[in-house]
Amino acid sequence: MTSPMQQRDDLSALLDGELENAELAAIEQELESDSDLRVELEELRGISDGLRSLPDATAPDGFLAAVMGRIEAGDGIEEMDTDVGRLASPVERVVEPQPDNVVRLSSWWIKGPALSAVAASVIVGIGLGIWDKGPLAPPNASELVMRAPGSSAPPSPTGLISPPTAEGDAIADVASDDEEARSGRTAERIRMTPGETDRVAVGGAGSSPAVLSAPRRSGIREASSSSPPPGIVAVAEAEYAPEPSAEREALETESARPLETAEKGLLPESDASKALGRSDGVSPPPPATRQAMTAVASLRTADSDVVVSLRDTAMSRGWELTFVSPGDAAVVLSDLLPEQVVELLLPPGDELAAQAILDGLGSFRFASSPERAEGEHSRLRVTVIYVPE
């Protein structure tokens, strides 16, 4: 006897003419007596007919020439398939955190000396953030600020950013690809000059009008701001067009350099608080087209060896989170979505700063896994899990 589940499976097979005679007879008998089943059959027919009625797309003109051109050019398509011709694993899904690895950061990381012990002067923003022109309160330690996207000012407590106090350039070396980041190489170098715009988008997601992006070209874009906080050397901004091949192209256009080498070109301490800002002249895409980003920003302050590497895999919608600690790193994350991953790459001894930055975040929890194998740095991988109120 056919189970109800099999019966319903047979409905689709009936539509597709894929039933054996006996199955066909059985389902037809059921259909005669079951009006709901008949309705469901019609719904499925509607779905199937709708799909079949989609326009019969054909490859664009010049397709063959484009293919052959790429072949002749030795197209650098990475072998994402390890076994061409066999089915790969399904697309990876968002991994749900396991209860036993969801811990508050503060419970993992030992609390220690005040943040001022760390002389870092870095702000790394990945995510969604807008700094408005004008003075804001000085940063406070371990402060969490949430604000709606597009709002001009965060609610109290504020104290994110102070106006610039100096002029100058800043350089951030930003890796725009996971593999590149892991191998410690950078994808693009961005140079930021002061005072050309009045807003800066920290990070690449959301609706910030200051985020620059060239369509069909992915990678890191230049950040712009005339009002960075004091002590900021560089602000990395990442905007990715979701085009794998384009991104690879971006990676290839800039010769990959070892991160340490790149960092040597950063500014001296006297420039540490210089303003940033330069537009590359590319109009930002409409907010509606802006989505998420994944980026690794590796910055070095002028007066510290701190390197903060951030990897944000979140899709930004809704709220922003900003973690601020004076004189240290300010980490702007964004989004309402349940999970994003942040990697902080810090020299030994600076973990305490990271702890302070990430501690006390109210409605967020962290799944963290410390690693010490990243050269001279220690790596903290933090999974930020949003817990709605």
Site for other proteins in 295-314 (CB under 8 A): 313-314
4-15 helix and 35-52 helix, angle to the nearest 10 degrees:
40
CB atoms within 10 A of CB 347: 17
Identity of the residue numbered 1: M
Is 75 a binder of other proteins (CB under 8 A)?
Answer: yes
Quote the least distance from Cβ 95 to other proteins, whole Å: 11
**How far is the C-alpha of 100 from the C-alpha of 98, rounded, in Å?**
5
**How far is the C-alpha of 296 from the C-alpha of 344, rounded, in Å?**
10
Is 288 a binder of other proteins (CB under 8 A)?
Answer: no
* Residue 281 host element (H or E): none
Residue 129 vs 204, nearer CB to other proteins: 204
Residue 87 vs 373, nearer CB to other proteins: 87
Is 135 a binder of other proteins (CB under 8 A)?
Answer: no
Tokens read off for 52: 């079949």
Is 244 a binder of other proteins (CB under 8 A)?
Answer: yes
Residue 211 vs 324, nearer CB to other proteins: 211
Is 292 a binder of other proteins (CB under 8 A)?
Answer: yes
The span of 271-279, 288-296, 302-310, 348-356 binding other proteins (CB under 8 A) equals 288-296
CB atoms within 10 A of CB 158: 18
Q: Are 224 and 278 in contact, with CB atoms under 8 Å apart?
A: yes
Residues 55-74 close enough to bind other proteins by CB under 8 A: 55-60, 63-64, 66-68, 70-71
Is 20 a binder of other proteins (CB under 8 A)?
Answer: no
Quote the least distance from Cβ 98 to other proteins, whole Å: 17
Q: Are strands 200-201 and 307-311 parallel, antiparallel or unpaired?
A: unpaired
Quote the least distance from Cβ 316 to other proteins, whole Å: 9
Is 91 a binder of other proteins (CB under 8 A)?
Answer: yes
Q: Are 15 and 41 in contact, with CB atoms under 8 Å apart?
A: yes
Among 273, 340, 355, 368, binds other proteins (CB under 8 A): 340
Is 348 a binder of other proteins (CB under 8 A)?
Answer: no
**How far is the C-alpha of 124 from the C-alpha of 295, rounded, in Å?**
11
Tokens read off for 207: 């609706």
Residue 197 vs 340, nearer CB to other proteins: 340
Quote the least distance from Cβ 5 to other proteins, whole Å: 8
Among 28, 167, 178, 252, binds other proteins (CB under 8 A): 178
**How far is the C-alpha of 250 from the C-alpha of 230, rounded, in Å?**
32
Is 22 a binder of other proteins (CB under 8 A)?
Answer: no
**How far is the C-alpha of 186 from the C-alpha of 255, rounded, in Å?**
8
Among 26, 30, 40, 169, binds other proteins (CB under 8 A): 40
Neighbouring C-alpha atoms within 13 Å toward the C-beta of 269? 5
- The helices-and-strands tally (H runs, E runs) of the chain is 9, 17
Residue 56 vs 156, nearer CB to other proteins: 56
Residues 183-222 close enough to bind other proteins by CB under 8 A: 216
Angstrom distances, CA of residue 121 to CA of 111, 147, 339: 21, 24, 27
The span of 124-132, 164-172, 237-245, 251-259 binding other proteins (CB under 8 A) equals 237-245
To 5 degrees, how large is the angle CA 276–CA 281–CA 285? 100
Is 47 a binder of other proteins (CB under 8 A)?
Answer: yes
Residue 52 vs 264, nearer CB to other proteins: 52
- State the DSSP code for 255: -
Quote the least distance from Cβ 178 to other proteins, whole Å: 7
Is 179 a binder of other proteins (CB under 8 A)?
Answer: no
Is 245 a binder of other proteins (CB under 8 A)?
Answer: yes
Q: Are 103 and 368 in contact, with CB atoms under 8 Å apart?
A: yes
Quote the least distance from Cβ 313 to other proteins, whole Å: 5
The span of 32-40, 109-117, 123-131, 302-310 binding other proteins (CB under 8 A) equals 32-40
* Residue 102 host element (H or E): none
Is 101 a binder of other proteins (CB under 8 A)?
Answer: no
Is 42 a binder of other proteins (CB under 8 A)?
Answer: yes
**How far is the C-alpha of 21 from the C-alpha of 26, rounded, in Å?**
9
